[in-house]
Amino acid sequence: MRLRNQLFFSLSALLTVALIGLLLAIFSVLHLTKQQSDAMYRNLTMVEATLSMGHELSKQTTLLLSEVLDDEALQESDKRFHRLLAKAAESAMNENDRQAVTEVRRAYDRYRPHLYTPEMVRNQLFTHDQFTRSLAAVRDRLNNVQMRYVNAVENTERQTRENAWMVTWLLGAIGLSIVLIGLVTAHSIARRFAEPIESLADAADNIGKGNFNVTLPLPSIHELNALIRRFGLMAEALREFKNSDIEALQAEQQRLQAVLDSIDDGLLIFNPEGRLEHFNPVAQRQLDCKHSHLGELPSHLLHQEALDEQMQLILRGAAMDTEANDLSINIDGETRTLAFTMTPITQGDDPVRGVVMVLRDVTEQRTFERVRSEFVLRASHELRTPVTGMHMAFALLQESADYPKDSREADLMRTVDEEMQRLLLLINDLLNFSRYQNGLQQLELAPESIDELLEQALHRFIHSAAEKDISLECELEAGLPRVALDRLQIERVLDNLIGNALRHTHIGGTIRLQAARNNEQVLLAIADNGDGIPYGQQARVFEPFVQIGKRKGGAGLGLALCKEIVQLHGGRIGVQSQPGKGTRFYFSLPQ
């Protein structure tokens, strides 16, 4: 049966019972009211008639006592008494009442002849015992009837109260019956609807937990039956989809596992709580990882407390804003050096779902870099003295030689002088770079004005820029604080960056020197609209001996030296570039 039909029939039955009860109550009230109204009317009519008859007796007595007898008034009073008597007889409610009225009639008939006695006899009526007894008998009979009906009025009133209570109890019983029937009906409807719905909800919970093998009820209600059948079809479709999806996920997981296992670097995956949940075979060899390490924090695994704080920053959406120090790991008595990076796992605007930590064994690389740095330092130091002596000797030779300016010999002398100067600059750069890398360079820090620093840098290059028709501009944020720095070294960084910008900016271009506050740091930048740097080479611009672009300058140590100077100040340096549209080198200094 359809749901609407069941609801209609159930509610119709309830309303029918309520309507029948209401009609019975109304009928009972009206019937009792009519009965009581009729009884009260007859009682009051009888009382009124007896009172009027008593009044007529009193009037007749008064007429009999008057000096002049008014026969017409006496006869009229007699007629009214008979009419009232007839009215009382009609209003009699039962046989006893009619018998009482008959007794009044008989007593009046015995009294009535005294009304028409001769005038000479009338004067002795009130001293005549028979007249007195007749009048008293009529009055007694009237009082008897009157008291009967007064009592009847009281009985009627009492009966009315009893009937009212009876009707009240009847209405209460009917209302209670309707409420009970309604509760039974509602409970029946609720049970018939709730049981399949609760079963359906339990099935939905099981499906939500991944259990698609559910048993569904088949109620007699057409709509619920159709809904549950469709729900069953959906569960079946989800079960099939899950089976196929699980197979696809397993295949994808196997492919992903193969990719992770084939990566040459160690790979650690941490969950959103910052605890280890996966490692690849390379990381297992690097760190001697075991399955018992799953769920541990990075500090327990790598023995560095700072990693936990850095992990939490990345999980909150921050990035690694400084180059991380290498990790020193001792495995089986052998110390290995590992470089690492942390990358958040995100999808769209969702919160960070975890962190991927990549470990790269740089033990041999760091050893080579250290040997190279020591060699460069020693070689540049050893070469500086003889090359300086050669340059001085050549300068003396150049002064003593007297060749015409346009001769080939003079041109060769100038070329040798320029190359020797270039060689000296290269040796000095190598020496300075080696000192920074080996921690031999000491900074002479003093509070300096950033505004003054950039304005002086602009004046140093204003003429070189004018020769190439390049515009130099200063963009300074107001109210920049003074910063503790080594002025000579920072000027070296600015000169290198501005020189590179001039070399790679076309005629008519613009170079902007910028400075602004960035949280607890001051950010300086050199931006141009020149050639730009290819995307594939931007990550290598700060490596030593690397030269980018077609317009090459020195030995490729300038940007590497800038990086060492900035890092020694506690800052960081970076680049933003779009090929063909310009480059922006920036570096930060702590306040």
pLDDT of residue 551: 53
The predicted-structure confidence for 266-283, as pLDDT tens digits, reads as follows: 888 888 888 888 888 888
Same domain as 380, residue 344? no
CATH of residue 395: 1.10.287.130
Domain with 379 in it:
368-437
Select from 182, 211, 235 the last residue of a domain.
182
Q: Please, are residues 48 and 150 in contact by the beta-carbon 8 Å criterion?
A: no
| Overall average pLDDT of the 308-333 stretch | 73
The mean of the pLDDT values for the chain is 78
Q: Which of 83, 98, 6 is nearest to 52 (CA)?
A: 83
pLDDT of residue 482: 92
Per-residue buried b or exposed e for 123-152, using 16+ beta carbons within 10 Å of the residue's own CB: eebeeeeebeebbebbbebbeebbebbeeb
Select from 182, 210, 243 the last residue of a domain.
182
CATH of residue 321: 3.30.450.20
Higher pLDDT, 65 or 285: 285
510-518 vs 471-476, strand pairing mode: parallel
Top-ranked range on mean pLDDT: pick from 79-93, 134-148, 211-225, 504-518: 504-518
Q: Which helix (H) or strand (E) holds 581?
A: none
pLDDT of residue 381: 64
* Lowest-confidence pick of 51-55, 73-77, 221-225, 250-254: 221-225
Q: Sign of the C-alpha dihedral, residues 175, 177, 180, 181?
A: negative
| Overall average pLDDT of the 213-240 stretch | 68
The predicted-structure confidence for 83-111, as pLDDT tens digits, reads as follows: 888 887 777 777 777 777 787 788 777 87
Q: Which of 1, 26, 112, 105 is nearest to 64 (CA)?
A: 112
Statement: residue 188 has pLDDT above 90: no
Same domain as 541, residue 452? yes
| Overall average pLDDT of the 314-342 stretch | 74
pLDDT of residue 51: 79
Residue 67 lies in a domain: yes
Statement: residue 375 has pLDDT above 80: no
Residue 203 lies in a domain: no
pLDDT of residue 586: 93
Q: How confident is the model at residue 322 (pLDDT cuts 50, 70, 90)?
A: very low
Statement: residue 221 has pLDDT above 70: no
Vertex 225: Cα angle to 224 and 230 (nearest 5): 95
**Rounded CA gap, 584 and 529, in Å?**
9
pLDDT of residue 74: 77
Same domain as 452, residue 323? no
Select from 143, 164, 182 the last residue of a domain.
182
Higher pLDDT, 485 or 350: 485
Same domain as 519, residue 385? no
Q: CB within 8 A of 216, min separation 6: which ones? A: 199, 200, 203, 228, 231, 232, 235
**Rounded CA gap, 295 and 109, in Å?**
126
pLDDT of residue 39: 65
Vertex 473: Cα angle to 469 and 479 (nearest 5): 170
The predicted-structure confidence for 458-511, as pLDDT tens digits, reads as follows: 999 999 999 999 999 999 998 899 999 999 899 989 999 999 999 889 999 999
Residue 195 lies in a domain: no
Residue 242 lies in a domain: no
pLDDT of residue 120: 41
Q: CB within 8 A of 182, min separation 6: which ones? A: 14
pLDDT of residue 510: 94
| Overall average pLDDT of the 384-412 stretch | 78
Top-ranked range on mean pLDDT: pick from 85-89, 144-148, 550-554: 85-89
Same domain as 421, residue 347? no
Q: CB within 8 A of 271, min separation 6: which ones? A: 277, 354
- Classified as helix, coil or strand, 67 is coil
Q: Which tokens belong to 58?
A: 């009193």
Top-ranked range on mean pLDDT: pick from 29-43, 112-126, 322-336, 412-426: 412-426
**Rounded CA gap, 489 and 47, in Å?**
133
Same domain as 11, residue 105? yes
pLDDT of residue 329: 81
Q: Which residue in this structure is represented by tokens 């009124």?
A: 48
- Classified as helix, coil or strand, 289 is coil
Residue 199 lies in a domain: no
Percent of the chain with pLDDT over 90: 12
Residue 241 lies in a domain: no
Long-range interactions of 185-191: CB distance < 8 A, separation 24+: 185/10, 185/13, 185/14, 188/10, 189/6, 189/7, 189/10
> Across 229-280, where does the E strand assignment appear?
266-270, 276-279
Q: CB within 8 A of 148, min separation 6: which ones? A: 96, 97, 100
Same domain as 27, residue 106? yes
Q: How confident is the model at residue 123 (pLDDT cuts 50, 70, 90)?
A: low
Q: Which amino acid is at 218?
A: L
CATH of residue 520: 3.30.565.10
Statement: residue 126 has pLDDT above 80: no
pLDDT of residue 4: 60
Statement: residue 438 has pLDDT above 70: no
Same domain as 162, residue 93? yes
Return the number of other C-beta atoms located less than 10 Å from residue 120's C-beta.
7
Same domain as 431, residue 511? no
**Rounded CA gap, 266 and 585, in Å?**
32
Same domain as 424, residue 348? no
| Overall average pLDDT of the 5-30 stretch | 68
Same domain as 404, residue 514? no
Return the number of other C-beta atoms located less than 10 Å from residue 485's C-beta.
26
pLDDT of residue 246: 67
Q: Please, are residues 339 and 360 in contact by the beta-carbon 8 Å criterion?
A: yes
CATH of residue 160: 1.20.1330
How many domains would you assign to the chain? 4
Residue 515 lies in a domain: yes
pLDDT of residue 380: 65
Q: Which tokens belong to 391?
A: 């340059």
Same domain as 326, residue 282? yes
| Overall average pLDDT of the 190-198 stretch | 69
Residue 404 lies in a domain: yes
* Lowest-confidence pick of 194-203, 214-223, 309-318: 214-223
